Structure 1
Amino acid sequence: MKNNIIYFLLLSTMLWACKKNDMMPYSSTDNVYLRYLDKDGNQDTTTLSYSFAYNPSLAQDTLWIPIVVTGPRVSRNRQFNLAVVDSLTTAIQRTHYEPLKASYTLPADSATLRIPLILKNTDESLANKSVTLGLRTVSGGDFAGDMPLALRTKKYIFSNRLEKPAWWMYWGQLGDYGRIKHQLFLIGSGTVDLVDLSKPNAYMEIPRSLYYIDNFRIFLKDPGTWIARNPAKGYVLVKKSGSDDYEFYSEAAPNKRFTLKYFAQVNGYFFIDESGKQIII
């Protein structure tokens, strides 16, 4: 009987301790971070690139920054801070991007939020160079800045010229990347991108991508026929004075011209890239 009483007391103590632990309040410091994920679902710390070259008529555009909270939801609005990282930034405030707010509001009962980053396309020099902008969540308002820098920091590179897209590396048929090659791809292929083979179910888009690559190959070999078949696009070929070479350009943007150079060795014409090399795929 005495042993039974002892066992009962021990069991009661253990149950009371477990109940006490289960009810312990959350006491960790809350943080916010920038949630960019790669193809494997891990935090993506690579630089994010953007170009107005895909939408040259835009005076500005908005990127939405994904914010995530560590810690429980609460039933009140909370404030957090986002700051520019000077060491990662060459962009000029108000010239290349709209100033950040002094603080941002996370609505009550929320654990995620997207905040706007407004990029500007008013600097003509962006046609020839890229600028960078580094952002980081920092301590302030209702949140600390205790998480690793890699989770709290993102670098953006943007311009009004083309940047190498992530999918390019998967399509060896295209060869080495070049901005002029990329511009001609956008004109002649019929699409702005190919499938990123790292994505789920990418195999379903392979035939479509091969079709666009073939369009691009045909365009490079015979831009004159392409012009004849696509008159609504407004492109022309004009022979350069005193030369066998041609210039290819849109009548709506005559200042942006591509050289189609004649090579007597093969009795053929090839577009020339920014390094003076033939564009061949």
Structure 2
Amino acid sequence: MLQHLKYTGLIMGLLCMGSCVKDTPRFANEAGVYINKESMDSYKDSITYSFAVKPDTLQQDTIYLPIRITGLPTKNDRPIPMTIVKDSTSATQAQHYELPVCLIKADSFIARFAIIVKRRPDLKDREVRLMLQVTPSQDFPLNITRLATGANPYYLIRLNDKLTKPDKWESAGSWLQTFFGNYSETKFKFIIQVTGRSNWPPRGRDGAGAPILNDMHNYSSMVHEALRLYEAANGPMIDENGNRVVFP
């Protein structure tokens, strides 16, 4: 009986080893490249960039995406194979954006892909979309479509030059209403400039990448102090409706 158990254990161990080998990700040693969304704190799949919250003198800016390879580094630089998904893109190259050649440097596992976005008059009236996709290439033949983290090879950039009121600002349970009070464009632009946060989800709390309650308390403290300093230097801040900007 003991001998039988010994052989049974040996067989089970071999089966387990075989299973482990089979489950090892097949791309671990193959040359591939992907957007490293695990390293992004928020906006893992898309971002809205608005020139409306930037200085009037800023005519272009750069958005960077973290990039990582699978397989081993090489002794030569390799271009990052980023392409445009045309049927999901309304932005016009050269007019709204540029995609400079970006490289995975020799002996490197990581890089940044740069997207230059441009301020144009039409962005005051509409929002354009730029859908990017990492595709296989001669240097990176492995087609990575989905990682264990749920990442995919796509990234969407929405570009405009107008303030867009976050959805459900006045809805029940809205942190936007609770911490910032009634909406106005002047107030919202001030909030964005002070907090540095331009992407606000519905109610300020719904969906992936939404701030947590502690973040909202910090934001509230920041805008209160910034408004105090503004009023000390300039007097009351008046919004586009002729009302004084105040926070709860």
TM-score > 0.5 by shorter chain: yes
CA distance in 2, matches of 1:69, 1:270: 52
The answer to whether structure 1 residue 140 and structure 2 residue 137 are counterparts is yes
Counterpart of 1:113, as a letter, is: A
- Distance in 2 (alpha carbons) for counterparts of 1:164 and 1:78: 42
Aligned positions of 1:55-70 closer than 5 A: 55=54, 56-70=56-70
The alpha-carbon distance between structure 1 residues 59 and 85, as it changes in their structure 2 partners (threshold 3 A), is: same
What is the root-mean-square deviation in Å for CA atoms of aligned residues? Answer: 4.6
Q: CA offset at residue 48 of structure 1?
A: 1.2
In 2, distance between residues paired with 1:192 and 1:43? 16
1:31 aligned residue: 32
Pairing of 1:78-97 with structure 2 (within 5 A): 78-97=78-97
Paired residue total: 205
- Alignment partner of 1:69: what SS? strand
**Which runs of structure 2 are paired with 1:7-156 in the superposition (5 Å)?**
28-37=29-38, 44-45=44-45, 47-55=46-54, 56-101=56-101, 104-121=102-119, 123-148=120-145, 151-156=152-157
The DSSP-based 3-state class of the residue aligned with 1:191 is helix
Q: Normalized against structure 2, the TM-score is what?
A: 0.62
Pick the structure with greater CA Rg.
1
Deviations 1:101-122 (A, max 9, x none): 4xx432111111012110001x
Tell me what 2:174 maps to: 172
Any stretches of 5+ residues in structure 1 without a counterpart?
1-20, 220-224, 237-247, 249-257, 261-268, 272-278
User: Per-residue deviation at 1:60?
Assistant: 0.3
In structure 1, what is the Cα distance between the partners aligned to 2:65 and 2:216? 30
1:208 and 2:218 aligned: yes
Mapped to 1, the partners of 2:39 and 2:103 lie a distance apart of: 27
Residues 80, 139 of structure 1: 8 Å contact kept = no
CA gap of 1:32–1:63, structure 2 versus 1, over 3 A, is same
Aligned equivalent of 2:12: none
The superposition leaves residues 61-93 of structure 1 with CA deviations (integer Å, 9 ceiling, x where unpaired) of 011121110112223323342111112210011
Greater per-residue strand proportion: 1
Shift of 1:126: 0.8
In the alignment, is the contact (CA less than 8 A) between 1:89 and 1:131 conserved in 2? yes
Aligned-partner SS, 2:49: strand
Cα offset for 1:27? 8.7
Identity %: 20
Note the C-alpha offset of 1:51.
1.0
- The answer (yes or no) to whether the contact 2:37–2:44 under 8 Å persists in 1 is yes
**In 1: Cα distance, 2:244 partner to 2:42 partner:** 43
What is residue 188 of structure 2 aligned with on the other side? 185
Change (3 A) 1:48 1:189: closer
Is the CA contact 2:85–2:133 (under 8 Å) kept in the aligned structure 1? yes
Cα 1:42/1:120, change in 2 over 3 Å? closer
How has the CA–CA distance of structure 1 residues 95 and 85 changed in structure 2, closer, same or farther, with 3 Å as cutoff?
A: same
Q: Which residue of 1 aligns with 2:3?
A: none
- Give, in whole Å, the separation in 2 of the partners of 1:109 and 1:119: 29
* Gaps in structure 2 of 5+ consecutive residues: 1-20, 22-26
Give the counterpart letter for 1:51 in structure 2: S
Contact in 1 for aligned 2:69/2:109 (Cα 8 Å) = yes
- Closer, same or farther in 2 for the Cα pair 1:42/1:132, shift >3 Å? closer
Contact 2:195 2:223 in 1 (8 A): no
